[in-house]
Protein backbone atom coordinates (compact mmCIF):
# COMPACT_ATOMS: atom_id res chain seq x y z
CA UNK A 1 0.00 0.00 0.00
CA UNK A 2 2.83 2.38 0.89
CA UNK A 3 4.57 1.66 -2.42
CA UNK A 4 1.32 2.24 -4.30
CA UNK A 5 0.71 5.45 -2.40
CA UNK A 6 4.23 6.63 -3.14
CA UNK A 7 3.75 5.77 -6.82
CA UNK A 8 0.53 7.76 -6.94
CA UNK A 9 2.21 10.75 -5.32
CA UNK A 10 5.11 10.61 -7.76
CA UNK A 11 2.70 10.26 -10.69
CA UNK A 12 0.66 13.20 -9.45
CA UNK A 13 3.81 15.30 -9.01
CA UNK A 14 4.97 14.48 -12.53
CA UNK A 15 1.54 15.38 -13.90
CA UNK A 16 1.66 18.70 -12.08
CA UNK A 17 5.15 19.35 -13.42
CA UNK A 18 4.19 18.50 -17.00
CA UNK A 19 1.10 20.66 -16.65
CA UNK A 20 3.31 23.51 -15.45
CA UNK A 21 5.67 23.03 -18.40
CA UNK A 22 2.76 23.03 -20.84
CA UNK A 23 1.33 26.20 -19.34
CA UNK A 24 4.78 27.82 -19.42
CA UNK A 25 5.24 26.94 -23.10
CA UNK A 26 1.81 28.34 -23.95
CA UNK A 27 2.20 31.48 -21.85
CA UNK A 28 3.68 33.55 -24.68
CA UNK A 29 1.58 36.59 -25.39
CA UNK A 30 -0.87 36.19 -28.27
CA UNK A 31 -1.56 39.18 -30.49
CA UNK A 32 -5.13 40.33 -29.89
CA UNK A 33 -7.69 40.33 -32.68
CA UNK A 34 -7.90 44.14 -32.53
CA UNK A 35 -4.12 44.57 -32.84
CA UNK A 36 -4.05 42.04 -35.66
CA UNK A 37 -6.72 43.96 -37.59
CA UNK A 38 -4.94 47.28 -37.07
CA UNK A 39 -1.64 45.81 -38.30
CA UNK A 40 -3.35 44.09 -41.25
CA UNK A 41 -5.14 47.26 -42.35
CA UNK A 42 -1.96 49.33 -42.15
CA UNK A 43 0.40 46.80 -43.73
CA UNK A 44 -1.91 45.78 -46.57
CA UNK A 45 -2.22 49.48 -47.52
CA UNK A 46 1.56 49.82 -47.29
CA UNK A 47 1.93 46.77 -49.52
CA UNK A 48 -0.33 48.18 -52.24
CA UNK A 49 1.55 51.46 -52.09
CA UNK A 50 4.87 49.67 -52.64
CA UNK A 51 3.46 47.77 -55.62
CA UNK A 52 2.58 51.05 -57.38
CA UNK A 53 -0.26 49.63 -59.49
CA UNK A 54 2.00 46.90 -60.87
CA UNK A 55 5.10 48.99 -61.59
CA UNK A 56 7.15 48.78 -58.39
CA UNK A 57 10.72 50.07 -58.15
CA UNK A 58 13.53 47.92 -56.71
CA UNK A 59 12.78 48.93 -53.12
CA UNK A 60 9.08 48.35 -53.66
CA UNK A 61 9.68 44.84 -54.96
CA UNK A 62 11.61 43.88 -51.83
CA UNK A 63 9.27 45.62 -49.41
CA UNK A 64 6.04 44.34 -50.97
CA UNK A 65 7.24 40.75 -50.87
CA UNK A 66 8.40 41.04 -47.26
CA UNK A 67 5.19 42.73 -46.15
CA UNK A 68 3.10 40.05 -47.85
CA UNK A 69 5.00 37.29 -46.05
CA UNK A 70 4.61 39.07 -42.71
CA UNK A 71 0.85 39.33 -43.30
CA UNK A 72 0.78 35.61 -44.09
CA UNK A 73 2.39 34.86 -40.73
CA UNK A 74 0.14 37.31 -38.84
CA UNK A 75 -2.89 35.49 -40.23
CA UNK A 76 -1.54 32.01 -39.54
CA UNK A 77 -0.68 32.87 -35.93
CA UNK A 78 -4.25 34.04 -35.38
CA UNK A 79 -5.67 30.61 -36.17
CA UNK A 80 -6.40 28.89 -32.86
CA UNK A 81 -8.85 26.08 -33.66
CA UNK A 82 -11.61 27.67 -31.60
CA UNK A 83 -13.69 29.07 -34.45
CA UNK A 84 -13.64 27.06 -37.67
CA UNK A 85 -15.24 29.83 -39.73
CA UNK A 86 -12.71 32.42 -38.59
CA UNK A 87 -9.80 30.02 -39.08
CA UNK A 88 -10.98 29.38 -42.64
CA UNK A 89 -11.02 33.10 -43.31
CA UNK A 90 -7.56 33.53 -41.79
CA UNK A 91 -6.21 30.62 -43.85
CA UNK A 92 -7.61 32.29 -46.96
CA UNK A 93 -5.93 35.55 -45.98
CA UNK A 94 -2.64 33.74 -45.40
CA UNK A 95 -2.82 31.98 -48.77
CA UNK A 96 -3.65 35.22 -50.60
CA UNK A 97 -0.66 36.91 -48.95
CA UNK A 98 1.59 34.08 -50.12
CA UNK A 99 0.15 34.50 -53.64
CA UNK A 100 1.23 38.15 -53.54
CA UNK A 101 4.78 37.18 -52.57
CA UNK A 102 4.97 34.43 -55.17
CA UNK A 103 3.70 36.77 -57.89
CA UNK A 104 6.35 39.33 -56.91
CA UNK A 105 9.03 36.60 -57.03
CA UNK A 106 7.84 35.71 -60.54
CA UNK A 107 7.81 39.41 -61.56
CA UNK A 108 4.06 39.21 -62.18
CA UNK A 109 3.41 42.53 -60.51
CA UNK A 110 -0.08 43.05 -61.89
CA UNK A 111 -1.10 39.67 -60.47
CA UNK A 112 0.46 40.70 -57.18
CA UNK A 113 -1.71 43.83 -57.09
CA UNK A 114 -4.90 41.83 -57.68
CA UNK A 115 -3.99 39.35 -54.93
CA UNK A 116 -3.05 42.22 -52.59
CA UNK A 117 -6.54 43.71 -52.98
CA UNK A 118 -7.87 40.57 -51.25
CA UNK A 119 -5.81 41.08 -48.09
CA UNK A 120 -8.75 42.04 -45.93
CA UNK A 121 -10.95 40.36 -43.34
CA UNK A 122 -13.85 41.28 -45.62
CA UNK A 123 -12.65 38.83 -48.27
CA UNK A 124 -14.82 35.71 -48.34
CA UNK A 125 -13.21 32.52 -47.05
CA UNK A 126 -12.06 29.89 -49.51
CA UNK A 127 -13.73 26.64 -48.33
CA UNK A 128 -10.76 24.62 -49.60
CA UNK A 129 -8.16 26.64 -47.66
CA UNK A 130 -6.29 24.40 -45.21
CA UNK A 131 -6.24 25.64 -41.63
CA UNK A 132 -3.17 23.62 -40.63
CA UNK A 133 0.00 25.62 -40.02
CA UNK A 134 2.55 25.53 -42.84
CA UNK A 135 6.24 26.46 -42.91
CA UNK A 136 5.96 29.87 -44.55
CA UNK A 137 9.73 30.40 -44.53
CA UNK A 138 10.04 27.80 -47.30
CA UNK A 139 7.64 29.58 -49.68
CA UNK A 140 7.95 32.33 -52.31
CA UNK A 141 11.77 32.05 -52.38
CA UNK A 142 11.75 34.28 -49.30
CA UNK A 143 15.25 35.45 -48.36
CA UNK A 144 16.77 36.99 -45.24
CA UNK A 145 17.53 40.39 -46.79
CA UNK A 146 13.86 40.64 -47.75
CA UNK A 147 12.69 39.60 -44.28
CA UNK A 148 14.75 42.35 -42.64
CA UNK A 149 13.67 45.09 -45.07
CA UNK A 150 10.61 46.24 -43.03
CA UNK A 151 13.07 47.31 -40.33
CA UNK A 152 14.30 50.05 -42.68
CA UNK A 153 13.16 53.65 -42.50
CA UNK A 154 9.96 54.82 -44.14
CA UNK A 155 12.04 56.83 -46.61
CA UNK A 156 13.50 53.53 -47.82
CA UNK A 157 10.08 51.95 -48.19
CA UNK A 158 10.24 50.09 -44.88
CA UNK A 159 7.97 50.13 -41.85
CA UNK A 160 10.49 52.15 -39.79
CA UNK A 161 10.68 49.41 -37.15
CA UNK A 162 14.37 49.75 -36.26
CA UNK A 163 14.21 53.54 -35.82
CA UNK A 164 10.97 53.31 -33.84
CA UNK A 165 12.45 50.64 -31.57
CA UNK A 166 15.57 52.69 -30.82
CA UNK A 167 13.50 55.80 -30.17
CA UNK A 168 11.10 53.99 -27.81
CA UNK A 169 13.98 52.27 -25.99
CA UNK A 170 15.58 55.67 -25.44
CA UNK A 171 12.45 57.56 -24.44
CA UNK A 172 8.91 56.29 -24.02
CA UNK A 173 6.03 58.61 -23.20
CA UNK A 174 3.18 56.71 -24.79
CA UNK A 175 2.64 52.93 -25.08
CA UNK A 176 -0.04 53.09 -27.79
CA UNK A 177 2.32 52.27 -30.68
CA UNK A 178 4.28 49.60 -28.81
CA UNK A 179 1.97 46.60 -29.47
CA UNK A 180 2.18 47.01 -33.25
CA UNK A 181 5.96 47.35 -33.14
CA UNK A 182 6.40 44.32 -30.88
CA UNK A 183 4.00 42.14 -32.87
CA UNK A 184 5.81 42.88 -36.14
CA UNK A 185 9.27 42.22 -34.69
CA UNK A 186 7.97 39.06 -33.04
CA UNK A 187 6.84 37.83 -36.45
CA UNK A 188 10.21 38.69 -38.00
CA UNK A 189 11.90 36.75 -35.18
CA UNK A 190 9.72 33.68 -35.83
CA UNK A 191 10.78 33.69 -39.47
CA UNK A 192 14.41 34.29 -38.50
CA UNK A 193 14.52 31.13 -36.38
CA UNK A 194 13.69 29.08 -39.47
CA UNK A 195 15.97 30.93 -41.89
CA UNK A 196 19.51 30.34 -40.55
CA UNK A 197 22.56 31.55 -42.42
CA UNK A 198 24.68 29.00 -44.27
CA UNK A 199 27.99 29.91 -42.61
CA UNK A 200 27.57 27.23 -39.95
CA UNK A 201 30.94 27.62 -38.21
CA UNK A 202 32.50 29.42 -35.24
CA UNK A 203 30.49 32.29 -33.81
CA UNK A 204 28.38 32.28 -36.97
CA UNK A 205 27.04 28.79 -36.34
CA UNK A 206 23.43 27.81 -36.92
CA UNK A 207 23.12 27.16 -33.19
CA UNK A 208 24.12 30.76 -32.42
CA UNK A 209 21.78 32.02 -35.13
CA UNK A 210 18.87 30.25 -33.51
CA UNK A 211 19.99 31.43 -30.06
CA UNK A 212 19.93 35.09 -31.12
CA UNK A 213 16.63 34.63 -32.96
CA UNK A 214 15.09 33.19 -29.79
CA UNK A 215 16.47 36.09 -27.76
CA UNK A 216 14.77 38.51 -30.13
CA UNK A 217 11.53 36.55 -30.07
CA UNK A 218 11.45 36.28 -26.27
CA UNK A 219 12.25 39.99 -25.88
CA UNK A 220 9.56 41.00 -28.41
CA UNK A 221 7.06 38.79 -26.62
CA UNK A 222 7.94 40.44 -23.29
CA UNK A 223 7.45 43.89 -24.82
CA UNK A 224 4.10 42.96 -26.33
CA UNK A 225 2.83 41.41 -23.12
CA UNK A 226 3.93 44.45 -21.09
CA UNK A 227 2.25 46.82 -23.53
CA UNK A 228 -1.10 45.05 -23.09
CA UNK A 229 -1.35 45.58 -19.32
CA UNK A 230 -4.42 47.51 -18.19
CA UNK A 231 -2.07 50.35 -17.27
CA UNK A 232 1.35 49.74 -18.85
CA UNK A 233 4.34 50.55 -16.65
CA UNK A 234 6.27 52.81 -19.02
CA UNK A 235 9.53 52.45 -17.11
CA UNK A 236 9.43 48.63 -17.22
CA UNK A 237 8.25 48.69 -20.81
CA UNK A 238 11.14 50.95 -21.81
CA UNK A 239 13.54 48.50 -20.14
CA UNK A 240 12.00 45.65 -22.12
CA UNK A 241 12.31 47.68 -25.32
CA UNK A 242 15.98 48.22 -24.49
CA UNK A 243 16.41 44.47 -24.08
CA UNK A 244 14.79 43.90 -27.48
CA UNK A 245 17.02 46.50 -29.11
CA UNK A 246 20.09 44.91 -27.48
CA UNK A 247 19.12 41.46 -28.81
CA UNK A 248 19.17 42.87 -32.34
CA UNK A 249 22.51 44.60 -31.77
CA UNK A 250 24.13 41.46 -30.33
CA UNK A 251 23.06 39.43 -33.34
CA UNK A 252 24.30 42.11 -35.76
CA UNK A 253 27.67 42.24 -34.00
CA UNK A 254 28.18 38.56 -34.86
CA UNK A 255 26.43 38.02 -38.15
CA UNK A 256 26.86 41.38 -39.91
CA UNK A 257 30.63 41.54 -39.32
Residue 134 domain-assigned (yes or no):
yes
Residue 207 domain-assigned (yes or no): yes
The answer to whether position 218 is within a domain reads yes
Furthest-apart CA atoms within the chain: distance in Å: 79
The answer to whether position 27 is within a domain reads no
**Contact at 8 Å (CB) between 76 and 94?**
yes
Identify the domain boundary among 114, 143, 172: 143
Residues 96 and 172 in one domain: no
In a domain, 18, yes or no: no
Q: Check residue 200 and give its pLDDT.
A: 72
Q: Any idea what the CATH number is for the domain that residue 182 is in? A: 1.20.120
Q: Please say whether the dihedral angle defined by the alpha carbons of residues 65, 70, 74 and 77, taken in this order, is positive or negative.
A: positive
pLDDT in tens, 241-251: 999 999 999 99
Number of domains in the chain: 2
What are φ and ψ of residue 231, in 5° steps? -135, 90
Euclidean distance between CA atoms 234 and 231, whole angstroms: 9
Q: Is the pTM of this model over 0.85?
A: yes
- Tens of pLDDT, residue by residue over 54-74, are 999 999 999 999 999 999 999
Q: Which domain holds residue 201?
A: 159-255
User: pLDDT (tens digit, 9 = 90+) per residue, 124-134?
Assistant: 999 999 999 99
Please tell me whether residues 37 and 139 are part of one structural domain. yes
Task: Write the pLDDT tens digit of every residue in 74-85.
Answer: 999 999 999 999
Do residues 119 and 50 both lie within one domain? yes
Same domain membership, residue 131 and residue 56? yes
Residue 241 lies in a domain: yes
Is 86 domain-assigned? yes
Amino acid sequence: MQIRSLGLKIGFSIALFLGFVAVTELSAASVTADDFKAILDHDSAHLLKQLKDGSPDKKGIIQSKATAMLIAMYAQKQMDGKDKTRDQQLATLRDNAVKVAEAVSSKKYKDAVEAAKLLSLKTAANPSAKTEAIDLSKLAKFEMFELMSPLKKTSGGGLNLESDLKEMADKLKDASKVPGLAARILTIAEYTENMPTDTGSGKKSVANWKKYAKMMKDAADEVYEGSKAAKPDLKKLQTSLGKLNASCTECHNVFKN
